[in-house]
Amino acid sequence: MTELNLVQAINRTLRDAMRDDPNVLLLGEDIGVNGGVFRATEGLFQEFGADRVIDTPLSETGIVGAAIGMALYGLKPVAEIQFLDFIYPAFDQIVSELAKFRYRSGGQYPAHVVIRSPYGGGIKGGLYHSQSTEAYFCHTAGIKVVVPSTPADARGLLLSAIDDEDPVLFLEPKRIYRSLTGEVPDGAARVPFGRARIVREGSDVSLFAYGAMVPPTAEAAERLARDGVSAEVIDLRSLVPLDEAAVIASVEKTGRAVIVHEAARFCGFGAELAALLAEKALYSLKAPIARVTGFDTPFPYALENVYLPNADRIARAARSAVRAS
């Protein structure tokens, strides 16, 4: 075990994966000599050289298209998209190509690519360095989407992503890259996809969150406890595949659900969770499902703290749910 913050855990995990398997290589903008704008790849160029830590021209479609070709050929590329906000030039490669290669070839050409990308607000990044648009990708069949919220999960999920035979979008909550540290296993402690983590057990209300929304959700649970409300906090960790059993089991126990994400509400990932609960846990519900999310506005610069869900909003939604029945 080593005490690391989240971005250090990612750096250490990339290093270990590259030491273990010569097929693993990295490509992206400013990831080599410069070590990445968030330093996620610091020191890797020096250790593995330009052939395995590839600084690319400024083209996201080039990065993902090339990564696909490498994967088809048998390498295990881990591509970095500098900010999730800049992934759209590669949207065609991800949605039309990467996610469909196995299917459209009848299983002849699996394309195993990991795309890492920092996402989310809280760093004063304005419109184009803050968005949380995981739902676009979750909607597409053929690509897995995972989001760690702790240094240990960052390592465990990234190891699983690199091992996985399918394409994986690995979203990194940049707001908490350095704000918390935790014990990280040194070995290959993989976190399997499709398994949510119970952050805190509770019996009155279930709070669902992922990524950078887990800390404020846990804080809300703490405040609720002081008021005598027992909140269960579930960190989804893996959006595709989703641990539907864990979501349903929690609501069957508590009868109330509050869904938290920083993305806009309309057609956000929370809509899928709410639909799942309506389809499979309706008779357990004692109160309407609540969503605490970003507003249906573009992501603002000066007013980002107004936009982002915080512990206060989450706790209020939970109290309303408890009061409703």
Judged by CB under 8 A, the number of residues near other proteins is 50
51 near other proteins (CB under 8 A): yes
H helix or E strand, kind and range, residue 156: helix 151-163
Tokens representing residue 7 in the block: 């971005």
66 near other proteins (CB under 8 A): yes
67 near other proteins (CB under 8 A): yes
Q: Please pick, from the candidates 2, 37, 61, 163, the single residue that binds other proteins as defined by CB under 8 A.
A: 61
Torsion of CA 18, 19, 21, 27, to 10 degrees: 20
Q: Tell me, what amino acid is at 137?
A: F
Name which of 27 and 229 has its Cβ closer to other proteins.
Answer: 27
Closest residue by Cα to residue 251 from 222, 237, 231, 272: 231
101 near other proteins (CB under 8 A): yes
d(CA 223, CA 281): 27
Name which of 54 and 162 has its Cβ closer to other proteins.
Answer: 54
Question: 164-223: which residues touch other proteins (CB under 8 A)?
Answer: 164-166, 194
Q: Is 129 part of the annotated catalytic residue set?
A: yes
| Residue 284 C-beta: closest distance to other proteins, Å | 19
Cβ-contact 247, 285 below 8 angstroms = no
Q: Please pick, from the candidates 69, 127, 275, 312, the single residue that binds other proteins as defined by CB under 8 A.
A: 69
In total, the chain counts a number of residues equal to 325
244 near other proteins (CB under 8 A): yes
Measured CA distances, 184 to 4, 152, 178, 190 (Å): 7, 5, 14, 11
For other proteins, the binding residues (CB under 8 A) are 25, 51-52, 54, 56-57, 59, 61-62, 64-75, 77, 89, 92-93, 96-97, 100-110, 141-142, 144, 164-166, 194, 240-242, 244-245
